[in-house]
Structure 1
Amino acid sequence: MQQRTLSQPISATGVGLHSGERVLLVMKPAAPDAGITFRRTDLPEPVDVKVQPSLVNDTRLSSTLVTDTGVRVGTIEHLMSAIAGLGLDNLLIEVGAAEIPIMDGSAAPFIYLLQSAGIVDQTVPKRFIRILKPIEVVEGDKWVRLEPHDGFKVTLSIEFNHPAFNQAPQTVAIDFAHHSYIEEISRARTFGFMHEVEYMHSHGLGLGGSLDNAIVIDDEYVLNPEGLRFPDEFVRHKILDAIGDLYVIGHPLIGAFSGHKSGHAMNNKLLRVLLAVPDAWEYVSFTDPTQVPSSFHRLPDVG
């Protein structure tokens, strides 16, 4: 299985969730083994920020890369999730602000853009990270875990004592050997409570948020007129986030991820713990396509 990039550049304009400003995003092909790099083009001198777990230094409301000189690229998780879902390895992403546009609050618009640009195989084998032994992070009643598994699957549970959440299961398991990321996960939107929106606005955050790019919940109901895209859209979005957070490691994982009440901070901490235990993982590539775990056979075809 080969590494992948785009066949041509593609651009889009959207609103930053927290700044409320218009943001230009340009995604371009990159060379084999280049990985995913964000380039801040709005600064006096453009600055490249290579995606890696050690640079996720702000996880209060999203996954935000922060360099040692203070250059930020925020709200990367939905775009990173789309990149992972399409099996892309190498991209240069130019962004004209300190955060990625929120689009509709899911990964689906990014999937559309990336597929519209076209995806091509490169001449170098794709490098996977295979989990060799369990790694876990526990904080009170919250936990995340990576375990060996010949493929990729995600099991997540959330816990909200609220009427809008109690109408559907708060645990979802997706085995990508049998389920499609695009169909089952990519359309699930971010969500928040009305009182949180009011709090963020009072602190100059969430200024770009609206019912067009998030599910908003009051004391009893979902306020979006169209309702939910899935009965369990809330936990499916947490899976979307987790896939994006995990792909910050720069390679697809061969393993099983599970968690309860997890978030960006714990997902990133799990990656850092994994990398600190050298015998818990290994790099693998496959020259024989029949040896590739079936989870990765479902990646959309190149064209």
Structure 2
Amino acid sequence: MRLEPLEDNMGIVFYRNDEAISIPLSPEYVIDTQMATVIGKNDVVVSTIEHLLSAIYAYGIDNLRVVLDNDEIPILDGSSSGFCMLLDEVGIKEQTKSKKAIRVKKEVEVKSDGKFAKLLPSNHIIYDFSIDFEHPAIGEQSFRFDYSIEEYKENISRARTFGFLHEVQYLRSIGLAQGGSLDNAIVLDDQKILNPDGLRYHDEFVRHKILDAIGDMSLLGYTMIGEYNAHAGSHHLNHLLTKKLLEDPSNYEVVDLEEIKDEVESLEKAYATV
């Protein structure tokens, strides 16, 4: 994988150089949300985009080309911290156009079987998530993240994806998750965590759900100003939420951050004009 700068107002674009196909980051190109967020065009796909996108959007990057020679973003250690380190090393270029954002104006919610995800108007950038797993190592967890880059790197980016041993065994039996291991995920059996080094946070599971949600909300195409709130949310619910927000123009407004920075309390610690 290679990350390349793009000019103003080009957005995030994935390019499969082995297929010579570009796939813009947009909800219309989402083709699967079962185990990860997958985009595709003309039978060419890019899978597991959410961890990279979470880091890209946490850093306020608006214009970027992601060049790949295969169909999946590298998993690294199952978190986004490796991408953060790369972005810190290479730096971010300020561009000539002022940064745009999408501000939530009305509550928008999607539900399914007791699970929900919703967006609420707010002068902060907040992700509030809760989970409840019938597993002794997880149980009920909740975390509220009020955005800043430093808080993201410290409290969200290191949280790894997780899965259950029986799921990994099934995925391998159908040819998926071939590279999955204790090096790039938290793996649990019916009673315990199998990783010998344990967890990075006591509530790492719900923090990773927030990491995923930030990546999934990047499909809006802009920084989101508002509050994301979810219980037992998923890639699928996040996709439905982005579609529902965008389907009614009265739900949101696209704003210039320079013009509203005095109104949005998170901005002084949030995004530069990049």
Query: Which TM-score applies when normalising by structure 2?
Result: 0.96
Among 100, 103, 117, the alignment partner of 1:144 is 117
Residue 296 of structure 1 and its aligned partner are, at CA, apart by 3.2
Q: Partners of 1:264 and 1:212 in 2: how far apart?
A: 23
Are the counterparts in 1 of residues 59 and 149 from structure 2 also a CA contact under 8 Å? no
Structure 1 residues 52 and 302, CA gap change in structure 2 (3 angstroms)? closer
1:94 aligns with 2:67: yes
Tell me what 1:12 maps to.
none
Residue 171 of structure 1 and its aligned partner are, at CA, apart by 1.1
Tell me what 1:66 maps to.
40
Question: How big is each residue's C-alpha offset from its partner over 1:87-129, in whole Å with a ceiling of 9 and x where there is no partner?
Answer: 1000011011011010100000011112211111111011000
Residue 61 of structure 1 and its aligned partner are, at CA, apart by 1.0
Tell me what 2:58 maps to.
85
Write the mapping of 1:190-229 to structure 2, written as runs, cut at 5 A: 190-229=161-200
Tell me what 2:227 maps to.
256
Q: Partners of 2:126 and 2:193 in 1: how far apart?
A: 29
Are the counterparts in 2 of residues 125 and 285 from structure 1 also a CA contact under 8 Å? yes
Q: CA RMSD in A?
A: 1.8
Are the counterparts in 2 of residues 120 and 302 from structure 1 also a CA contact under 8 Å? no
Q: Which amino acid aligns with 2:247?
A: A
Tell me what 2:236 maps to.
265
Structure 2 gaps, min length 5? none
Residue 140 of structure 1 and its aligned partner are, at CA, apart by 1.7
Residue 153 of structure 2 aligns to a residue whose secondary structure is: helix
1:293 aligns with 2:267: no
Are the counterparts in 2 of residues 153 and 176 from structure 1 also a CA contact under 8 Å? yes
Structure 1 residues 91 and 234, CA gap change in structure 2 (3 angstroms)? same
1:135 aligns with 2:111: no
Q: Partners of 1:301 and 1:58 in 2: how far apart?
A: 32
Question: How big is each residue's C-alpha offset from its partner over 1:39-96, in whole Å with a ceiling of 9 and x where there is no partner?
Answer: 00122xx1111000111111111000012x1110110000000001111000011011
Are the counterparts in 2 of residues 178 and 295 from structure 1 also a CA contact under 8 Å? no
Are the counterparts in 2 of residues 177 and 297 from structure 1 also a CA contact under 8 Å? no
Are the counterparts in 2 of residues 135 and 273 from structure 1 also a CA contact under 8 Å? yes
Are the counterparts in 2 of residues 28 and 91 from structure 1 also a CA contact under 8 Å? yes
Residue 225 of structure 1 and its aligned partner are, at CA, apart by 1.1
Structure 1 residues 118 and 211, CA gap change in structure 2 (3 angstroms)? same
Question: How big is each residue's C-alpha offset from its partner over 1:133-182, in whole Å with a ceiling of 9 and x where there is no partner?
Answer: 0001011201110010002101111111111113xx51111112697111
1:35 aligns with 2:16: no
1:284 aligns with 2:272: no
Identical-residue share of aligned pairs (%)? 43
Are the counterparts in 1 of residues 261 and 268 from structure 2 also a CA contact under 8 Å? no
1:238 aligns with 2:212: no
